[in-house]
Amino acid sequence: MESNPFFDLCTNLSDVKGTPVEIEGSLFGSAFGGMNQPLPEPMEDISVDVECTLVEFYCGARKQVDYERQVIGLDGTTVRQELNTVDVFVTPGMKKNTKITFHSQGNQQLKRKPTDLHITFKLKDSQPGSNSANYSRKGDSCDLYYTHKVKLVEALQCKPIMLTTLDGRNLAIAVDHFMVPGTVKCVENEGLPICVDDPKEVKKDFDLLCPRAHKKERGDLYILFDVEFPTTLSREQKSEIERIIKC
């Protein structure tokens, strides 16, 4: 030990023989002490719900999603919160509660792989009194249901139905029989586009699946008649109703 050229670095031989002396920066010293620290607890994925109107499910839309995530600083040790933004697309006819995943776009964490970002498309209630409020979609069906309010006289006269579609078109639907409460009329190919999942349409390295709508394949539109009956009728009105019925 005394022939060691580094022996003079120790002030006393007992420092080496009697007590465990740690040379700073040595192979087994504090320079590599961090290697023995346990990994931090893994963070959860980030989930965000995006509200979409029935018009957006019908016509399609581009939505900007803002969310907060943890990121690692340039020094590789500090973490901070930041607001991040991604663009997502609502494809015409997309199913409600469709979920897409952006891999590694969630929380960044030390010594672990970044978590994922999950985005779920939710159907938002239509604004009361709006045209879209007359429409509804049941489940994931591509059929639409339209509630048509009509007065009793108009129902008996079989007047054509004038309605505005979700994409702004005006339709005139012929009626060939009396409309009574509970009557349903089907208009073919006026529902939502029918979508299929195309695994080839993947955006970059993200698991962003964009369903593709068939150009000529749509669901149907069902018109539900809500006949408004008058609370009182005059003698002349009663006679007019009887005349219309007998015709």
3-state secondary structure of 144: strand
Burial label for 90, CB within 10 Å (0-12, 13-18, 19+), is buried
3 pLDDT band, cuts 50/70/90, is low
Buried b (16+ CB within 10 A) or exposed e, 130-164: eebebbbbeeeebbbbbebebebebbbeeeebebe
pLDDT, tens digit (0-9, with 9 covering 90-100), for 57-102: 999 999 999 999 999 998 888 899 999 999 999 999 999 999 999 9
Q: Confidence class of residue 206 from pLDDT cuts 50, 70 and 90? A: very low
The pLDDT assigned to 151 comes to: 82
For the entire predicted model, the pTM comes to 0.70
Strands 193-196 and 212-218 come out as antiparallel
Higher pLDDT, 161 or 201: 161
DSSP 7: G
Supply the Cα-derived Rg of the chain in whole angstroms.
35
- According to the model, what pLDDT value does residue 233 have? 75
Q: Which two tokens stand for residue 246?
A: 């007998």
Unique residue bearing structure tokens 């005059």: 234
Give domain limits for the chain: 46-246
pLDDT score recorded for residue 54:
96
Average pLDDT over residues 240-245: 70
Percent share of the chain, pLDDT over 70: 74
Mean pLDDT, residues 131-147 taken together: 93
Residue 137 to residue 29: CA distance in whole angstroms: 67
Residue 24 scores a pLDDT above 60: no
Which homologous superfamily is 46-246 in?
Urease metallochaperone UreE, N-terminal domain (2.60.260.20)
| More confident call, 243 vs 61 | 61
Measure the CA–CA gap between 126 and 56, rounded to whole angstroms: 11
pLDDT, tens only, 218-230: 999 999 988 888 7
